[in-house]
Amino acid sequence: MLLAQTAWAQPDDDDSLEVEVPSRVSAPPLAKAASLPAERDLLRRAVRVGDHLFVEHEGQQRQLTIDVALQEQLTEVLKTYQTPWAAVVAIEPSTGRVLAMAEHSEVDPGLRGLSTRALYPAASIFKLVTAAALLDVGVAPGEALCSYGGKRKVTPAQLLDSEKDLRCFTFAKALAMSANVIFAKFTSRYLDADKLKAAARAFHFNTPFRFPVPTDMSLASVPQDTFELALTGAGFGDVYLSPLHGAALASVAANKGLWRAPVLFEGEAPGVEERAVSEDVAAGLTQMMEETVTDGTARRIFHERGMRVPGAVGKTGSLADKQPFRDYTWFVGFAPKEQPRVAVAAVIVNDPRWRIRATWLGREAMRLFLARER
């Protein structure tokens, strides 16, 4: 089935920038992380009054949209598990209201801003952008390709059909299982740099992020070279994402293709919305994200007894740096599928010995919020 093509959102000239993207190998942003200035750290400055947080901003007392109980629960989780670097953001998709921005660094306890900084390789979370571009050009979720290898790297030879290709996945299953070679193959066969750049722009990469707390622009380098483009489409490129942006990205599918800007102050109108992808593309993404939870890389975590989140959909991501070793894991998603009430993004950067990873953290953010709503 050919899905309806999206009229990709075109940001104003001042908002769509050609930017220099650092190399993940030679210049990982986390190595140069600086703390958020105290005067700009609205959550740290906020004062609790009953069940609400208030902060002075631009000469006024403003109430934050933060769900205090959820914020405290998630912060306590991060501290209890002594996460080296971690952040988790929860958003109400239909309005953009930010429900939680919890963060903690056991390595540097004074480091603030982990939830709004694009310090982390997006890894396979970028497959959602690639998937949107592929759906837009007519690749159906049931279309299948075959491959071999590719767990940790992809080679040019693997992009060619071979008698070694004994592992076959549909497009939907490839997203659910984060099958790197399959995604690289789909990218090389159906996309060019312009199409992937347009999809990245529609999801607000390389675009300034307007938010009361200083928020990094998430960066995506989309190369012209066919093989390098395929690697980027599979999640191996120089692409960086902030957790706040990750939650907003997940909200696009939840909102049937609409991008809604995050909101931090109560009383403001819902975040500015724009059409990022068509409703058909959003439906396709949601279908494939559901398979990630039911039969894919998130299945085990979301099927733990007593810890299930009915109707959850999502996408996992993982990538590791060698020197120094850093294990990046991601989860973005929303729940419930039919009437989304919360979208989350969780990232954890672990040392060789770890206690929790991002899929577990993302599930807990969903579960804790929805459990109180019943």
What integer pLDDT is reported at residue 373 of this predicted model?
A: 65
Domain that holds residue 180: 119-324+334-352
pLDDT tens, 245-279?
999 999 999 999 999 999 999 998 888 899 999 99
Which residue carries 């085990």 as its tokens?
A: 300
Tell me the pLDDT band of 374, cut-offs 50, 70 and 90. low
CATH, residue 280: 3.40.710.10
Instruction: Name the percent of the chain lying above pLDDT 70.
Output: 95
**182 occurs within a structural domain:** yes
What integer pLDDT is reported at residue 54 of this predicted model?
A: 98
What integer pLDDT is reported at residue 18 of this predicted model?
A: 66
CA–CA dist 328, 321 (Å, integer): 8
Contact 106, 82 (CB under 8 A): yes
Tell me the pLDDT band of 28, cut-offs 50, 70 and 90. confident
> How many other C-beta atoms are found inside a 10 Å radius of the C-beta of residue 289?
27
Total of domains in the chain: 1
Q: Cα 2 to chain center, whole Å? A: 26
Q: Cα 202 to chain center, whole Å? A: 14
Q: Is the pLDDT of residue 12 over 80?
A: no
Q: Helices 127-136 and 193-202, interaxial angle, to 10°?
A: 110
What integer pLDDT is reported at residue 11 of this predicted model?
A: 39
The pair phi, psi for residue 69, each rounded to 5°, is -60, -45
245 closest CA partner among 221, 220, 275: 220
**98 occurs within a structural domain:** no
Q: What is the DSSP letter of 121?
A: E
**85 occurs within a structural domain:** no
More confident residue, 24 or 160: 160
DSSP symbols for 26-65: T--GGGG--PPPGGG-HHHH-EEETTEEEEEETTEEEEB-
Mean pLDDT along residues 184-199? 97
> Who contacts 123 (Cβ-Cβ below 8 Å, separation ≥6)?
235, 317, 318, 319, 328, 330
CA–CA dist 240, 87 (Å, integer): 15
Strand partners, 321: 326
**308 occurs within a structural domain:** yes
Q: Is the pLDDT of residue 10 over 50?
A: no
pLDDT tens, 328-344?
999 999 999 999 999 99
**238 occurs within a structural domain:** yes
128 closest CA partner among 66, 163, 171, 69: 171
Q: What is the pTM of this model?
A: 0.93
Mean pLDDT along residues 300-316? 96
Signed CA dihedral, 266, 272, 275, 276: sign only: negative
236: its two tokens: 């191996």
More confident residue, 374 or 262: 262
**46 occurs within a structural domain:** no
Mean pLDDT of the chain: 93
**141 occurs within a structural domain:** yes
Tell me the pLDDT band of 372, cut-offs 50, 70 and 90. confident
Mean pLDDT along residues 137-158? 92
